[in-house]
Structure 1
Amino acid sequence: MYVDAAFLAYHDKPERARLRGLARNAATPVDVLLRLLDHPEGVRPDVTRRPAWSDEAVDAVAAHPRPAVRAVLAEAVGASPEQRARLVDDPDRRVRWRLAEGPDRSRWAVAAPLPRWAYERLAGEGDDLMRDLLANWCRWTPADIRAALRTGAAADPSGEARNADGDAPLTRERAEELVRDESEWARTQAAADPALPADLVAVLATDPSPDVRLAVSMRPELSEEQPAAVDYHVAPADRLTPLDWVTETTDPDVLRRCVHSAHVALRRSSAYNPHLTPELVAVLAADEDHAVRLLLCENHPDVPGEVVLQTYLEAEVAGRGDLLDHPCFPRQGLASLADSPDPNARALVVLDPQAPAALIERLSHDPDPRVRCRMAADERLPLDRLLALFDDPETTEAAASNPNLPVDLMERILADALP
């Protein structure tokens, strides 16, 4: 992947790295925070990642004259629902829109970004875009408020169900046209259409396109044995669109069949289903396919902690950090990973609330910079070691986010980062 060298030279300069770290530091005094929010380097997105907000900081930002600054509080990951709700009557509707959308967090990071009364207030303000946000885009809107907002939605004027091709119900003539279509996409859509006649399903089962054959193999009417007769392939790294008929089923027999299926696509889709029983969660937690286990951890709160931990360590996807917020992710005992050959495991030691300061200090000398950075941000780190890491370009950003950073260094960061 190409990375612009000029951008990296600008981005990685210590004075800018420290400014980003300081923006995430929950211990910055309010006057420093306000100067960060107005800084020409534009570190507001980093400020939204502060792990905690004092009431004094909330008061200052909520009263700021600039809507763009107040919107930072609306999107603040570490602010409590009640703190963010201070903006529910903000005079600028763009701030209220940001408030409704909520922080960009993993599903496990917060239980509910706003109190219920705040959603009721936002839903009743008469703003059409706000109503649309709450009804269709905000994942945190209470179900009954969402349903009430959707009540007035326009019905399908045709009164007819739509098929995979986007037209009226599939006729025999149209089905035959799709099966013969030169477009691989059109044939793939036809292969997934539940209304496709069985004889045409059989035709597409031998289609030259692997995507078409895969779509045929995932049809809900097929028995457990029938997909094996279709030449389909799913690689471990393949990304598959979840199957609605699996993810949304409430039929325990259908769900059980999918969980135990030899077809990995059915097992991956079943990991999304909210109706999994503890027994079925246990089956998927032991699945040989890493993607099944990852999807299960991403969607279910009751996965055994050791499975969540191992899945995190094995994952190579960009969003694996979300698993650190999983309610079953084990924190007690992570200090035992201090001597692991895997630097990703050693970096987790900092999450153990009982890890002693001496161990944090020891790992701050780790040969891997990722481990040193995690230790540099931890408040158990001795001050002399924090200052040393602050002076190291590889760890200076993380050290600047440490809540024990002296205020005089915070002031220096602001001064050094001015254009």
Structure 2
Amino acid sequence: MPQKDDQLTKVACGISKATASKRAAAVLLLEADVILHADWVAGLATNHAAPDSVLRRVFTLDPRSEAWSLLGRRELSPSAARAAVAHPDPEVRSILVGNSRLPTEAYGALAEDADPAVRRRMLRIAEACGVELPKEVVVRLATSPYGGLRSIAAELVGLPERNLLLLAGDRDPRVRAAAINTRTWHRLPPAVRAAAEADPDARVREAFERVARPLMPLPTTVNAFLAEAEEDRRLAAALASPVDADLAAFLATHEDPSLRERAARNPHTPTPLALRLATDPDPHVRLAVSTRADLTEEQRVAIDYTAPQERYSFPAWVEEHFDDPDALREIAGSRHVMLRRGVTRAPELPADVVERLAIDEDYYVRAMLCENDHAPHELLVEMLAGSERWVLLTSRRNFARPGLARFADNPNHRLRYAAMRDPHAEPELVERLSHDPNDMVRHHAASHPLLPLPRLVELLGMTEQGVARTAARNHALPHDLMHQLLDIAGVER
């Protein structure tokens, strides 16, 4: 890998005798190299082992720098979050609004920020995403003299019952309309709902319709189905409504294949009627019939169905048996591949079911099992070698096992990557793989806590493809060296 040897001066810092571990440290002093310095800062910004003192220094940077955009996404300690939301630049505070990992108190500070733009952005996100603000902040908003703030408070998580009832009867129709929403509907007394339905303001009545309409019973008869104005409710009725015999027959013979498919999936459609669809010209309809819960194994396999080539598709009724080990065994033994795929999603699987699914002939059964923490180590390694989502497999509970180090020289770079997940891996192995020709292997080694410090320091001086940034994310990077990197990069103390 190329190094900027003409701009590098290695300065030996020797062995720090003041530290308990007496670790060796080395620091690279570089001439002005904006790109490399930016990589250090960005790496430190996302280094979860970086102390608050390092993060506070990063907070002094230009809010348009990449480090700040990264800090807008990473988890911050309570003290670092307090320092961040107190930053004097409103642009910085606005970036933090989008961080989904801030403590509740930090969100509260941003919701009452001195800058109106920051406040508005925080409140919009809290309203849309259900972000929890401190109760006292929500109450202050709900009792604000400004109708706009009261209407926002009506849709926030954590609004006390007393304040909700006051807002539902607020003098401002915008506030009354905001108080009628999916989060508050179940908390509103019948008298308040009835008042909203008859409210003199159209906005409140429309809010009532938006919430109440989807909660009304779905059509169960042909006349009610034809009279239903909303397409989504008609489709939902065809799929799950307790349809009567006439509506079931109407849907099962409809010219629209999407309605026939839903009729085939609807558990209220009589079995004999559903079986008539087993020879439907549409393959989606035939597949829907074949996965019904009320069919025998012989009836299923007699249907000419085609299983979709995707990971998550499986019959919804299988989930109803997730807490029944005997039912899981029976379904896992089905000749219908969609049922076997569904079993893999159960949070608790008997050992014999895991063993059976791990050798299933269907690729997606094995792949879906690998997304379950019960997946056996051998299957995870097998699937990792050729999976497009291979990195995710390395985080499964059963993946890291002694013996993975044997793949350190494997031609498959995914397996070389896995070698560093061996809990008995030696620093020498990690150091060797830090020279690997594959980018992902090399980067993983650069961030590995077992990487020897001299090699880690060497990688901090690499300018190729962000290796220095990855090295700066290494949790084993000594804190004093983190500060020295920021010193060299010109970041204020």
TM-score, normalised relative to structure 2 = 0.60
| Aligned residue in 2 for 1:238 | 310
Match status 1:375 vs 2:445: yes
Q: Which residue of 2 aligns with 1:46?
A: 70
Corresponding residue number in structure 2 for 1:92: 111
1:363 aligned partner, one-letter code: L
| C-alpha distance in structure 2 between counterparts of 1:130 and 1:188, whole Å | 39
Aligned partners of 1:44 and 1:69: how far apart in 2?
8
Offset at residue 261 of structure 1 (A): 0.8
Q: Deviations over 1:106-126 (max 9, x none)?
A: xxxxxxxxxxxx99979x978
Provide the residue aligned with 1:6 in structure 2: none
Alignment-derived partner of residue 408 in structure 2: 338
Letter in 2 for 1:402: N
**Does 2:102 align with 1:68?**
no
Aligned to 1:191: 264
Cα deviation for residue 359 of structure 1 reads 1.6
Distance in 1 (CA, whole Å) between partners of 2:423 and 2:311 is 36
Contact kept in structure 2, 1:272 and 1:295, CA below 8 Å: yes
Question: C-alpha displacement at 1:161, in angstroms?
Answer: 8.1
2:377 corresponds to:
305
Give the counterpart letter for 2:83 in structure 1.
A
* CA deviation after TM superposition for structure 1 residue 335, in Å: 2.4
Partner of 1:364: 434
How much has 1:130 moved relative to structure 2?
Answer: 4.3
TM-fit CA distance, 1:232: 0.9
Match of 1:31 among 39, 56, 76: 56
The superposition leaves residues 160-214 of structure 1 with CA deviations (integer Å, 9 ceiling, x where unpaired) of: 6879832353233333333333333222212111122334323321112211111
Q: Distance in 1 between matches of 2:277 and 2:284?
A: 10
User: Could you report, residue by residue, the CA deviation over 1:284-318 in whole angstroms, capped at 9, with x for unpaired residues?
Assistant: 2333333223323424x44433334434444323x
Percent identity (aligned): 32
Which one has a bigger Cα radius of gyration? 2
- Paired residues of 1:258 and 1:266 also in contact (CA < 8 A): yes
| Contact preservation (8 Å) 1:17, 1:396 | yes
The answer as to whether partners of 1:45 and 1:72 remain within 8 angstroms in 2 is: no
Residue type at the aligned position of 1:242? F
Deviations 1:238-258 (A, max 9, x none): 345332210122455433221
Partner Cα distance (1:160, 1:30) in 2: 54
From 282, 293, 296, the equivalent of 1:209 is: 282
The answer for the alignment partner of 1:282 in structure 2 is: 355
Query: Residue deviations 1:74-94, cap 9 Å, x none?
Result: 426xxxxxxx45547545284
1:290–1:311 contact (8 Å) kept in structure 2: no
Q: Does 1:259 align with 2:332?
A: yes
Task: Report if the CA contact (8 A) 2:394-2:418 is conserved.
Answer: no
Deviation per CA, 1:358-391, whole angstroms, max 9, x where unpaired? 2212111112122111112234334554455442
3-state SS of 2:235 partner: coil
Could you say which residue in structure 2 is the equivalent of 1:225? Answer: 298
Aligned to 2:29: none
Deviates more, 1:52-61 or 1:354-363: 52-61
Give the direction of change, closer, same or farther, for the CA distance of 1:207–1:43 in structure 2 (3 Å limit): farther
Cα deviations by residue, 1:118-175 (Å, 9 ceiling, x for unpaired): 99979x9785544499xxxxxxxxxxxxxx9996488876456879832353233333
The Cα offsets for residues 328-379 of structure 1, whole Å up to 9 and x where unpaired, read as: 3325443232122211111123334542222212111112122111112234
User: Is 1:399 aligned to 2:399, yes or no?
Assistant: no
Q: Which secondary structure does the structure 1 equivalent of 2:354 belong to?
A: helix
Residue 223 of structure 1: CA displacement?
0.9
Structure 2 unaligned blocks of 5 or more: 1-34, 113-121, 143-152, 160-182, 189-210, 221-232
Q: Which runs of 5+ in 1 are unaligned?
A: 1-12, 77-83, 103-117, 134-147
C-alpha distance in structure 1 between counterparts of 2:374 and 2:340, whole Å: 17
CA distance in 1, matches of 2:381, 2:72: 27
Partner of 1:109: none
Partner of 2:207: none
2-structure distance, mates of 1:42, 1:248: 47
Other structure's SS at 2:292 match: coil
Deviations 1:10-34 (CA, angstroms, capped at 9, x unpaired): xxx8787666434323337123331
Distance 2:378 2:245 in 1: 52
SS in 2 for 1:181: coil
Aligned residues of 2:72 and 2:96 also touching (Cα < 8 A): no
Q: TM-score, normalised by structure 1?
A: 0.69
8 A Cα contact 1:347 1:371, kept in partner: yes
Q: Distance in 2 between matches of 1:165 and 1:90?
A: 44
The SS at the match of 2:259 is helix
Q: In 1, Cα distance between the equivalents of 2:428 and 2:235?
A: 63
Distance 2:471 2:299 in 1: 58
> Contact 1:14–1:393 (CA<8 Å) still a contact in 2?
no
Measure, in 2, the Cα distance between the counterparts of 1:132 and 1:233: 48
Cα deviation, residue 72, structure 1: 6.2
